Amino acid sequence: MKKILITIISFVSFTLLHAQKDTTQQYGVGDSTKPETFEIYSPVPPVVTPGALPQDAPSDAIILFDGKNLNAWRSNKDTTKPADWDVHDGIMTVSKKGLGDIETKQRFMDYQLHVEWREPSDIQGTSQARGNSGVFLASTNGPGGGYEIQVLDCYNNKTYTNGQTGAVYKQSIPLANACKKPGEWQYYDIIWTAPRFDNDGKLSSAARVTVIHNGVLLQNNFELKGETRYIGFPYYVAHGASPIKLQAHGDPSKPLSYRNIWVRPLD
């Protein structure tokens, strides 16, 4: 009996801990022919003041980069070292000769992320060697180093489609190619649901991602099969809240730039 009770309690606590916020709630008890039986007044959603423009951070966003410094970031290769990308004119430019990828000091689970990026107007190279970078939605020590949304110049640049701009790298072909010309600012709005693992490290719910590129839907709540890998089938390795990472890709083309990065945690 005691054993059954403990099992039930652990199941309920696990479910409560891992459940998404239930926004539907329960309908009131009462006369089901009356409209007010189906009207809910609590909980009340928090007030969030939107930015003046769609790309401006709302009042509850965490600013990851506002053009001034890389204080919210560190080196991914050596997390004791600061991020060494070049900050100038309100933007940051990838450093191809330094420590490489950068990641946020803060860790996140589920979130809404806004990122702007720009390829150099005189970008050269072909396929994956043309302004390659990437937004890793969780930086991990797993088989792919996390989950990459590809950043690449695909304006008249042919490459494998599950590696083009906005692909969940080698897992999901984007629904469209919405690339702007090199030299123009572009943006991603990304909704990320982190994967969940049980106490034994077994996957209990897969990661999901929605990606909007320049106002165009590229990934619609795609369920990831695991970390994104250069070679090999994707699989998961358990992790919790993780940094967001930006990739310094080793291709020889000119480095691209980022600006205006903010995040709204959702868990």
User: Considering CB under 5 A, how many residues would be counted as binding Mg ion?
Assistant: 3
CB-wise, 178 or 248, nearer to Mg ion? 248
Neighbouring residues of 4: CB distance < 8 A, sequence distance ≥ 6: none
Which residue minimizes CB distance to Mg ion?
A: 134
CB-wise, 72 or 167, nearer to Mg ion? 167
| Whole-Å CA distances, 21 to 17, 24, 133, 234, 242 | 10, 9, 33, 28, 20
Contact call for residue 228 and Mg ion (CB under 5 A):
no
For residue 119, report the phi and psi dihedrals to the nearest 5 degrees.
Answer: -80, 150
Residues in region 230-259 near Mg ion by CB under 5 A: 247
| Shortest spacing between CB 164 and Mg ion, in angstroms | 11
CB-wise, 75 or 133, nearer to Mg ion? 133
Residues in region 129-168 near Mg ion by CB under 5 A: 132, 134
Query: Can you tell me the distance from the alpha carbon of 260 to that of 267, in angstroms, rounded to the nearest whole number?
Result: 22
Q: What is the full DSSP assignment across 179-227? A: PPPTTSEEEEEEEEE--EE-TTS-EEE--EEEEEETTEEEEEEEEP-SS
CB-wise, 57 or 85, nearer to Mg ion? 85
Interacting residues with Mg ion (CB under 5 A): 132, 134, 247
